[in-house]
């Protein structure tokens, strides 16, 4: 039987996956029909996080390099997009893409130490970058300093030519963000299925063999940083318009760590996992854990425990504590994260022999 090799790399491996993905996309597109408007701030935030975590996964899950500076690239994307629009009059879409490339350039530069440093030493170099970036932004007037800057209206047209298409509501932005996220996720998946992604994974598995098979290690290690930073830049560009008004403060080390948690919880070997991890953690942080004290009995109990040991008042630290616990549980019981959990469920349902970490998954 002649093998169809395209089936191995095509976006949809089979009819059932294609239908599943299509159904899921339709569901996402139609969400505004049944969800009230106020949910879409959170959903837009989720989408921005999904994009950056997918990019982080290309780096961490792909080459095995850990970045503690992704909030820095996120900031470059947010500030870059807004400033390119305001100061240079560039329309939104090109400004966003350009900001992505600026972030990618910084990613390349930050990746240079990867040629000499490994493991924790490299992570510390990225950490230093993340801290430096917000510091610089906070001290330069054009970036709005510590007070911050206001994002212009999100106009998809070219306002100078009188072509204006302003997305004013969160729902309108949601549709745009969704399209961007789908493109970025499909792109990441394609990258990981083809020559470059394969080389990233080869570097992670065996440096020596990768070199001997002709992979230029310095080039690919820095490339992984650049690609990952591009994703962070695009995500940051969208994030700026979720917030509307922002200053350097949110782009801190805790945010970088939160992105890593999202990637690990989702599973470092799969893009679908990254999407799930980012969405779940964002939901926990910004919705469930914000309102948990309002749950009858349980909320009061939790508050009293928290006030007894962890905080002066209320449930101030609850999200850090819960995220920490989730992280520990995942690392101990299911290192492949939500993606691994899903494989398990699928295994039980199908009752067929399965190869847990089916090779070829990103």
Partner 1 sequence: MPFLTVDNISVNFRGVKALAGVSFSVEEHSIFSVIGPNGSGKTTLFNLINGIYKPDRGRIVFQGTDISRLSPDRIARRGIARTFQNIELFSRASVMDNLLLGRHIHMRCGVFSGAFMWGRRSRAAREEIENRESVEAVMEFLGISPLRDHPVVNLPYGKRKLVELGRALALEPRLLLLDEPTAGMSADEKKDLDVRIRAIRDQYKATIILIEHDMGVVMGLSDTVLAIDQGRVIAEGKPREVQSHPDVVKAYLGS
Q: Which of 50, 192, 60, 201 is nearest to 126 (CA)?
A: 60
Judged by CB under 8 A, the residue of 6, 34, 38, 309 near partner 1 is: 6
| Least separation in angstroms between CB 136 and partner 1 | 28
**Which of 205, 249, 305, 329 is in the footprint of partner 1 by CB under 8 A?**
205
Q: Lay out the site mask for partner 1 across 134-173 (x = CB under 8 A, - = otherwise).
A: ----------------------------------------
Per the CB < 8 A criterion, the answer to whether 32 and 171 are in contact is yes
* Minimum CB–partner distance for residue 191 and partner 1 (Å): 5
**Cα-Cα-Cα-Cα dihedral sign, residues 108, 113, 116, 119:** negative
Integer Cα distance of 327 and 54 in angstroms: 18
Contacts with partner 1 by CB under 8 A: the residue count is 41
- The answer to whether 197 contacts partner 1 (rule: CB under 8 A) is yes
Task: Report if residue 279 touches partner 1, rule: CB under 8 A.
Answer: no
Nearest to residue 69, comparing CAs of 128, 10, 155? 128
Q: Which of residues 118 and 293 has its CB atom nearest to partner 1 in the complex?
A: 118
Distances (CA, A) of 336 to 54, 104, 350: 15, 27, 20
Name the one range near partner 1 by CB under 8 A: 34-42, 129-137, 214-222, 337-345.
214-222
Asked whether 238 and 52 are in contact (CB, 8 A), the reply is no
Going by C-alpha positions, the residue among 5, 23, 25 that lies closest to residue 13 is 5
C-beta of 55: minimal distance to partner 1 in Å? 12
Site residues for partner 1, window 297-356 (CB under 8 A)?
A: 355
Quote the distance between the C-alpha of residue 135 and its chain's center: 22
As a whole number of angstroms, the distance between CA 239 and CA 242 comes to 5
- By CB under 8 A, residue 269 contacts partner 1: yes
CA–CA gap between residue 196 and residue 31 (Å, rounded): 35
Question: CA-to-CA distance for 32 and 237, rounded, in angstroms?
Answer: 23
Task: State how far the Cα of 89 lies from the Cα of 102, in Å rounded to an integer.
Answer: 17
Would you say 269 or 282 has its CB closer to partner 1?
269
Should residue 15 be labelled a site residue for partner 1 when binding is judged by CB under 8 A?
no
Contact with partner 1 (CB under 8 A) among 167, 227, 232, 318: 227
Whole-number minimum distance, CB 1 to partner 1, in Å?
A: 11
Q: Which is nearer to partner 1, 33 or 208 (CB)?
A: 208
Residues near partner 1 (CB under 8 A) are: 3, 5-6, 8-11, 187-188, 190-191, 193-199, 201-202, 204-206, 208-217, 223, 227, 269, 355, 357-360
């Amino acid at each position: 039987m002649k093998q169809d090799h395209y089936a191995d790399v095509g976006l949809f491996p089979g009819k059932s996956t294609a239908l599943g993905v299509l159904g899921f996309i339709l569901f996402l597109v139609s969400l505004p029909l049944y969800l009230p408007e106020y949910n879409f701030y959170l959903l837009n935030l989720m989408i921005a996080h999904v994009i950056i975590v997918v990019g982080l996964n290309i780096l961490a899950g792909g080459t095995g390099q850990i970045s503690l500076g992704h909030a820095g690239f996120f900031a470059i994307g947010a500030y870059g997009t807004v400033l390119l629009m305001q100061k240079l009059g560039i329309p939104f879409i090109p400004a966003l893409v350009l900001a992505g490339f600026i972030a990618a350039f910084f990613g390349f530069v930050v990746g240079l130490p990867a040629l000499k440093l490994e493991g924790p030493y490299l992570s510390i170099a990225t950490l230093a970058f993340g801290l430096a970036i917000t510091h610089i932004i906070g001290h330069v007037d054009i970036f709005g300093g510590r007070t911050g800057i206001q994002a212009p209206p999100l106009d998809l047209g070219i306002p100078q030519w009188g072509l204006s298409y302003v997305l004013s509501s969160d729902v309108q932005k949601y549709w745009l963000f969704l399209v961007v996220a789908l493109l970025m996720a499909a792109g990441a998946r394609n990258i990981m299925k083809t020559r470059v992604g394969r080389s990233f994974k080869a570097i992670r598995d065996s440096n020596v063999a990768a070199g001997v098979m002709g992979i230029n290690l310095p080039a690919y290690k820095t490339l992984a940083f650049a690609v990952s930073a591009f994703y962070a830049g695009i995500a940051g560009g969208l994030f700026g318009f979720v917030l509307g008004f922002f200053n350097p403060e949110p782009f801190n080390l805790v945010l970088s760590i939160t992105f890593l948690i999202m990637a690990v919880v989702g599973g470092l070997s799969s893009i679908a996992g990254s999407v799930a991890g980012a969405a779940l953690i964002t939901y926990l942080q910004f919705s469930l854990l914000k309102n948990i004290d309002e749950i009858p009995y349980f909320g009061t109990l939790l508050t009293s425990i928290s006030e007894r040991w962890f905080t002066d008042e209320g449930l101030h630290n609850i999200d850090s504590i819960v995220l920490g616990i989730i992280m520990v549980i995942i690392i101990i019981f299911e290192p492949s994260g939500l993606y691994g959990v899903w494989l398990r469920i699928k295994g039980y349902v199908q009752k067929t022999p399965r190869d847990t970490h089916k090779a070829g998954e990103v």
